[in-house]
Copies of this chain bind each other. A is one copy, B any other.
Amino acid sequence: MRRKEGWQNCSPWVKVMVADCGRYFAERRREVEARLEQLVPAQPLPGCPATLNAAMRYSLLAGGKRLRPLLLLAAADTVADSCGRFVDFACALEMIHAFSLIHDDLPAMDDDDYRRGRLTNHKVFGEAMAILAGDGLLAAAFEVMAAVPAVGAEKKIGVIREIAAATGLSGMVAGQVLDMEAEGKAISAEQLRTVHAQKTGALFVAAVRCGGILAGADREQLAALTEFGRKFGLAFQISDDVLDVCGDRDKLGKPVGSDDKNAKSTYVTLYGLDTARQLAGRTLDEAQAALDGFGPQAALLTFLVEQMRNRDH
């Protein structure tokens, strides 16, 4: 793979960051948190009712790994020095992720009472407000992306298209439907893979692809990031299933065994715990291998792969 000029001429700052990935991600996370706090501020923006604002903030600012935003930012810096211009796109991804969690937790859906160690949105604000908080976050995500000043319209349209597709009918929403329809049924490994490729995988893939698009990735680089996103997302899901069986309730912030309660097919029910663990490891190896062409700047995404290997929540 050809190295992009953009990165060769990058600022010394990015070179330091690649050498010190822990600090890079801590910094990016702080930026994302700070920007989310501005995008949905404690003092509601004009026209936004206080209750709606509170409901959105409750879920959006509840911590979490911010994995999708970090994937977008790291993918961009893997291709070229992004100089922090893409944080609003990263935040938009997190708003869409928060929307999906709020709606998935609803009584009509997974009916969950806890998320990240706190009551779920509808338990605090009621069902109607939770539905609307999700709707509001989804719409606001597109508003935020369309409004970014320092990025050209062509790139913004490319990213909006990727993210809308990953959210909707061939992505997250479709995956949630398949997931619900599979409940209580024995499904094949192939079917399980399809469910998760849409429900969680699509947004991971969109995160790294959008980082690439924004940073001006060429076709080959975009293909490598796509492959990385697919494998990384799959490994995330397998490790989720493993943690649901043998994780620590306090670290997870939700009860273990919820898949079992909901009679869900998982990588553990399908393969057994040990094989599922091995599968997660092999899939992470494949994610890593997809980064080969990027040279030293692959260090950023590699760091996330290693974190996923040692994931306990």
Query: B-contacting residues of A (Cβ < 8 Å)?
Result: 44-49, 51-53, 56, 99, 103, 106, 108-109, 126-129, 131-132, 134-136, 138-140, 142-143, 146-147, 152-154, 156-158, 160-161, 164-165, 167-171, 173-174, 176-178, 180-181, 198
Contacts and interface: CB of A to CB of B under 8 A. Distances in A.
Q: How many copies does the complex hold?
A: 2
B146 A52 contact: no
Contacts of A143: 161, 164-165, 168-169
A126 B108 contact: yes
Contact of A160 (B146, B169, B170): B146
Given A48-B174, A146-B161, A157-B157, 7 more contacts: A52-B174, A106-B131, A132-B173, A132-B177, A138-B139, A140-B169, A143-B168
Contacts of A106: 128, 131
A137 B198 CA distance: 16
Contacts of A169: 44-45, 47-48, 52-53, 56, 136, 139-140, 143
Contacts of A45: 169-170
Contacts of A47: 169-171, 174, 198
A248 to B, nearest CB: 30
A45 B49 CA distance: 37
Contacts of A142: 142, 160, 164
A157 B153 contact: yes
Contacts of A136: 168-169, 173-174
A122 to B, nearest CB: 8
Contact of A139 (B46, B146, B168, B177): B168
A192 to B, nearest CB: 15
A307 B59 CA distance: 44
A268 to B, nearest CB: 24
A125 B20 CA distance: 52
Task: Report, nearest first, the 9 A-B pairs whose CB atoms are least far apart.
Answer: A139-B168, A47-B170, A108-B127, A153-B153, A143-B164, A146-B161, A142-B164, A139-B167, A48-B169
